[in-house]
């Protein structure tokens, strides 16, 4: 019983750490959807690596702005 409780607490602690540290885990679903849509657009429209990278950087910028917005 004690081993089961310890493992449960460890799993919960790890999930909280992941949610706080990784961007995609702590962002609202709307922001994640916007990021996926923007990245998909970049893949479809831009052929060169440089322009695709610039487009993806813009997607990341708008993602962080969306994430910073109050819910």
* Confidence label for 1 from pLDDT (cuts 50, 70 and 90): low
pLDDT digits (tens, 9 = 90+) for 2-59: 676 776 666 666 666 665 555 555 678 999 999 999 999 999 999 999 999 999 999 9
Find the domain containing 29 and state its range. 2-68
pTM of the predicted model as reported, rounded to 2 decimal places: 0.60
Task: Specify whether the CB–CB gap between 69 and 25 falls below 8 A.
Answer: no
Q: What is the pLDDT of residue 70?
A: 79
User: Into how many domains does the chain fold?
Assistant: 1
pLDDT for the residue 51: 95
Q: What is the 3-state secondary structure (H, E, C) of the chain?
A: CHHHHHHHHHHHHHHHHHHHHCHHHHCCHHHHHHHHHHHHHHHHHCCCHHHHHHHHHHHHHHHHHHHHCCC
Question: pLDDT at residue 68 above 70?
Answer: yes
pLDDT reported for residue 54:
96
């Amino acid at each position: 019983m004690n081993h089961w409780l310890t493992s449960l607490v460890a799993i919960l602690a790890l999930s909280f750490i992941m949610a706080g540290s990784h961007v995609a885990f702590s962002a609202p679903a709307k922001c994640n959807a916007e990021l996926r849509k923007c990245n998909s657009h970049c893949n479809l429209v831009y052929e060169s690596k440089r322009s695709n990278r610039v487009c993806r950087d813009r997607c990341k910028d708008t993602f962080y702005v969306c994430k910073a917005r109050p819910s």
